[in-house]
Structure 1
Amino acid sequence: MTTTDVRLWTVDEYHRMLETEILTTDDQVELIAGQIIQMSPQLPPHAATTQCASDYLRELIPGQAIIRVQLPITLRPNSEPEPDIAVVRINFRRYQDNHPTSDDIFLLIEVASTTLNSDRNLKSRIYAQANIPDYWVLDVNNRQIYVFRQPQDASYQQEIVLKENDTISLLAFPEITVPVAQLFP
């Protein structure tokens, strides 16, 4: 049996592909663990939940963080995902010169209607490796949140599931309580 090595890409190589238009915005891809992955199209429940959750978080923490929606973050050396929502440090240039890195990130949220397995496994490994302290997956179909905390190596030491009638606080803003139901339309 013949084996084939997979060529993994770095963030810098990925950027060069974008700059030289080998890849374009029409490609709808993201760099995940060195692989260029096609992003899933958004169905209406996914889009509505992303909008609802991002709007609610903007209301809760005005002036304390920037809420980025479906924009890249850079996790060197080889990932540049586009999480559905990223709660990041305020940057007065609004990240004009670079995307937020793990040091800038308070919370990442993925919204899952068809990608629950990937978001809970692949993305959680990448985010844990990058030492993202707080990662949530909004499960659109069951209206619940998977909360990942305490990153260590390539996994989170804590994973809890919260139902629609539960509440949660962001690790970065523990004084702010978020009713889970408010994150869903």
Structure 2
Amino acid sequence: MEMNFPSDPPQPFRLRIEDYELLDRSGVFEGQRVELIDGVIIAVNAELLPHTRVKNELMFRLRLALGAMGLTLETLVEPTLALPPGNMPQPDVVVAQVPRVRDYLRVENLAIVIEVGASTLRSDLGVKKALYALHAVPEYWVVDVEARRLHQFWAPDDGQYVQSLTTALASELRSATVAGLVIDGNGIL
């Protein structure tokens, strides 16, 4: 008896947010840091001190600037974003309108999403940038720890960011989409 096998290579099974939540609630990820990106569970690396310092400095400086401006936007560290159908990234920092509900942040809550790239720079400027543009996140920042630069992207259109700017971290860091939001980049690293 001759067996006929499909000629296409096997494809991964892509999880939806609902599938990921079931696994999480069952304890499968206990003690691990993971994200759901394009339906695939991705392990998140441990952080070295420069990454942690940059993340915390950005959160602190953005929080002070937003408070001084009297805006209702908040800064959060490592929130889970729900980007249906199969994405639950945990960016390093976000600037967002944070609803008082028991839920994840949604794209409509977001003003700025920030990733700090040391070992993850390639992914942050590739897969993550494409993901955030596809979901129309208004502004996306990637801090390049090694090169001491900030890459900014905004004006998402048809799954790509139309506008971008690269700035030295030793200068003023100005949001392209939140009017008047400026922080000093000196000493972040």
Question: Normalization by structure 1: what TM-score?
Answer: 0.90
Partner SS state of residue 55, structure 2: helix
The answer to whether the Cα contact below 8 Å between 2:91 and 2:114 also exists between their aligned partners in 1 is yes
Q: Which residue is 1:175 aligned to?
A: 180
- Alignment-derived partner of residue 78 in structure 1: 86
What's the CA shift for 1:168? 3.5
Shift in CA distance, 130/2, structure 1 to aligned 2, threshold 3 Å: closer
State how far apart, in whole Å, the 1-side matches of 2:181 and 2:56 are.
Answer: 20
1:150 aligns with 2:121: no
Do the aligned partners of residues 15 and 139 (structure 1) sit closer, same or farther apart at CA in structure 2, a change above 3 Å counting? same
CA distance in 2, matches of 1:160, 1:25: 39
Whether 2:103 is the aligned partner of 1:98: answer yes
**Contact between 1:145 and 1:180, CA under 8 Å: does it hold in 2?**
no
CA distance in 1, matches of 2:31, 2:183: 35
For 1:9-39, what per-residue CA distance to the aligned partner results, in whole angstroms no more than 9, with x for missing partners?
A: 1111111111122x22412110011110010
Identity %: 24
Matched, 1:48 2:53: yes
Q: CA 1:16–1:177 in 2, change beyond 3 Å: closer, same or farther? A: same
Aligned residues: 180
Q: TM-score, normalised by structure 2?
A: 0.88
From 155, 163, 167, give the equivalent of 1:162. 167
Q: Please give the root-mean-square deviation of Cα atoms over the aligned residues, in Å.
A: 1.7
Q: In 2, are the aligned partners of 1:67 and 1:88 still within 8 Å (CA)? A: yes
Runs (4 or more) in structure 1 with deviation over 3 Å come to none
For the pair 1:121 / 2:126, whether they are aligned, the reply is: yes
Write the distance in 2 (CA, Å) between the matches of 1:60 and 1:39: 29
Give the structure 2 partner of residue 67 of structure 1: 75
1:106 and 1:70 map into 2 onto residues whose CA distance is 15
Deviations 1:154-184 (CA, angstroms, capped at 9, x unpaired): 22122221113443332442122223335x1
Distance 2:176 2:167 in 1: 15
- 1: CA distance between counterparts of 2:147 and 2:24? 37
**Matched position secondary structure for 1:174:** coil
Q: How many angstroms does 1:114 deviate by?
A: 1.1
Bigger radius of gyration: 2
